[in-house]
Amino acid sequence: MKAQRLVELLIEKKMTIAVVESCTGGAFMAELVRVPGVSEVFRGGMVAYSEEMKIKVLDVKPDTISRFGVVSTQVAVELAMHAKKNSRANICVAVTGYAGPTGEDVGKVCFGISINGKQYVMTKEFGNIGRGKVIDASVDFLLEWLCETI
């Protein structure tokens, strides 16, 4: 199980994690908290679904959204940086995307990770595979990417 491997890595490296999710609606955090021992490494997280919440609560700059769009690596990094500032976790993760079922960019998901001050970004195009499958694919990808990155 990828979530278990991630938690084991975090414990082994004495690192902590915080999360901001949008299109995945807390599914990533739900995977994490299923793992025994996660309380040693998981600081917490937030689901920020609306643009307003991203701006007013998580300090995403309105200019960033207007220039790059709410689903962009730039917004994902700003979300991760806010999580970093407020949680003091070593690793902060953010995910924002279009799960569907309608829209021009259905299946586009942007990820931002901040690890000890270094930022990583990635955009995945999962396609119009269905809302639930986009969410599941996003969580699976993020777990795998984190295990490889840390």
Half-sphere exposure of 5 (CA within 13 A, CB side): 12
pLDDT at 148: 95
- Which domain does 10 fall in, by range? 2-149
Q: What is the mean pLDDT of residues 86-91?
A: 92
In this predicted model, what pLDDT tens digit does every residue of 4-61 receive, in sequence order? 999 999 999 999 999 999 999 999 999 999 999 999 999 999 999 999 999 999 999 9
Asked if the bond preceding 36 is cis, omega within 30° of 0, the reply is no
Could you give the number of structural domains in the chain? 1
For the chain, the average pLDDT equals 96
| CA neighbor of 11 nearest in space, from 82, 91, 114 | 91
The amino acid occupying position 119 is Q
CA distance 60 to 64: 7
The CATH number that applies at residue 130 is 3.90.950.20
In this prediction the pTM is: 0.95
More confidently predicted of 68 and 103: 68
Distances (CA, A) of 34 to 38, 113, 120, 138, 140: 8, 21, 26, 17, 14
